[in-house]
Amino acid sequence: MARIDVRRGRAYGVVLASGDELRADMVLSSVDPNLTFLRFMDPSELPDDFVEDVRRYKFRGSSGKVNLALDALPNFTALPGDGPHLRGALSISPSVDYMERAYDQAKYGEFSRRPYIDMVIPTLTDPSVAPPGKHILSCFVQYAPYKLASGTWDEQREAFGDAVIDTLAEYAPNIRDIILHRQVVTPLDLEREFGLTEGNIFQGELTLEQLFFARPIPGWAQYQTPIRNLWMCGSATHPGGGIMGAPGRNAALRILGRTA
Ligand SMILES: Cc1cc2nc3c(=O)[nH]c(=O)nc-3n(C[C@H](O)[C@H](O)[C@H](O)COP(=O)(O)OP(=O)(O)OC[C@H]3O[C@@H](n4cnc5c(N)ncnc54)[C@H](O)[C@@H]3O)c2cc1C
């Protein structure tokens, strides 16, 4: 989808990248306000104060991912060997001070050299996603600020991956020997590949001024938008973000109530 077809304050459908036009009575956007209002339509269709609020909406993504293909299971010194602990959520967050230090670097525009890492090994739950005996270790990594103080994410991607492996090696010393492949996903990659502005995993920061009746924009928290027949229904609306589907359900109920 390349554009929402908006004319004189009303949505008529969407235009695909191919140029094909899809007509619709209602358009529901489950992408963030930046894409919806500033990228996918001409902002001049919107009231000026609304556009200002959209521009003020904060994203500032702060996480990345490192996915590892492994030849064997990691062996954690805290609880060596295989076991049920590997089937749950694994976290490298040894103390509040550790996490605070990890965040300190992000405050000044650097990724954490010793990051806070949440991991899962999906191959222990569903072995079919890898060849027999091989495993995937999926690491959710904090903190990785979208805006770096120096350099670009394309330049720093591998250094970020190295920081994650160095950290893992302190807790699972066999990790370097069992890595077959690694995929490092920076906040910039989240933006480029998945359309998450500034790499924010929740389509916008979960800060108080952007929650509840103010998500995404004060006065526009009921899924409706200033454009007739255009509604918001994704993680940038209440009670997003997160994997729960509630914004979509709420939006559907509002629309049904409106159209009943
Ligand atoms: C790394 C990561 C970890 C996360 N961890 C958690 C967690 O542990 N718990 C939790 O609750 N939530 C987590 N989240 C957040 C959660 O995934 C989101 O809040 C949720 O997926 C939002 O759902 P949505 O349907 O509103 O939007 P999305 O899932 O963002 O769906 C929007 C869709 O629109 C598509 N799109 C974008 N641009 C276009 C276009 N131009 N044309 C067509 N399609 C387009 C996108 O590809 C995407 O499929 C995580 C997210 C990430 C990225």
Q: What single string gives the DSSP state of each residue in the chain?
A: --EEEEETTEEEEEE-TTS-EEE-S-EEE-S-HIIIIIISS-GGGS-HHHHHHHHH------EEEEEEEESS----TTS-SSSGGGGS-EEE---HHHHHHHHHHHHTT---SS-EEEEE-GGGT-GGGSSTT-EEEEEEEE---SS-SSS-HHHHHHHHHHHHHHHHHHH-TTHHHHEEEEEEE-HHHHHHHH--GGG-TTSS---GGGSGGGSSSTT--SSB-SSBTEEE-STTSTT-SSTT-HHHHHHHHHHHHHH-
| pLDDT tens by residue, 27-75 | 999 999 999 999 999 999 999 999 999 999 999 999 999 999 999 999 9
Q: What's the CA-to-centroid distance between 188 and ligand 1, angstroms?
A: 15
Ligand 1: residue of 31, 119, 237 to mutate (most ligand atoms within 8 A of CB) is 31
204 lines ligand 1 (CB under 6 A): no
> Over 90: is that where the pLDDT of 225 sits?
yes
Q: pTM, whole model, 2 decimals?
A: 0.95
Integer CA distances (angstroms), 59 to 147, 166, 171, in order: 11, 29, 32
Q: What's the CA-to-centroid distance between 31 and ligand 1, angstroms?
A: 8
| pLDDT tens by residue, 200-214 | 999 999 999 999 999
Residues 6+ away with beta carbon under 8 Å from 231: 26, 27, 28, 29, 223, 224, 225, 251, 254, 255
102 lines ligand 1 (CB under 6 A): no
| pLDDT tens by residue, 131-146 | 999 999 999 999 999 9
Per-residue pLDDT at 260: 42
Q: What's the CA-to-centroid distance between 83 and ligand 1, angstroms?
A: 32
Among protein residues, the one whose CA lies closest to atom 3 of ligand 1: 201
Per-residue pLDDT at 17: 96
| pLDDT tens by residue, 73-116 | 999 999 999 999 999 999 999 999 999 999 999 999 999 999 99
135 lines ligand 1 (CB under 6 A): no
Secondary-structure class of domain 3-58+201-259 per CATH? alpha beta
| pLDDT tens by residue, 149-161 | 999 999 999 999 9
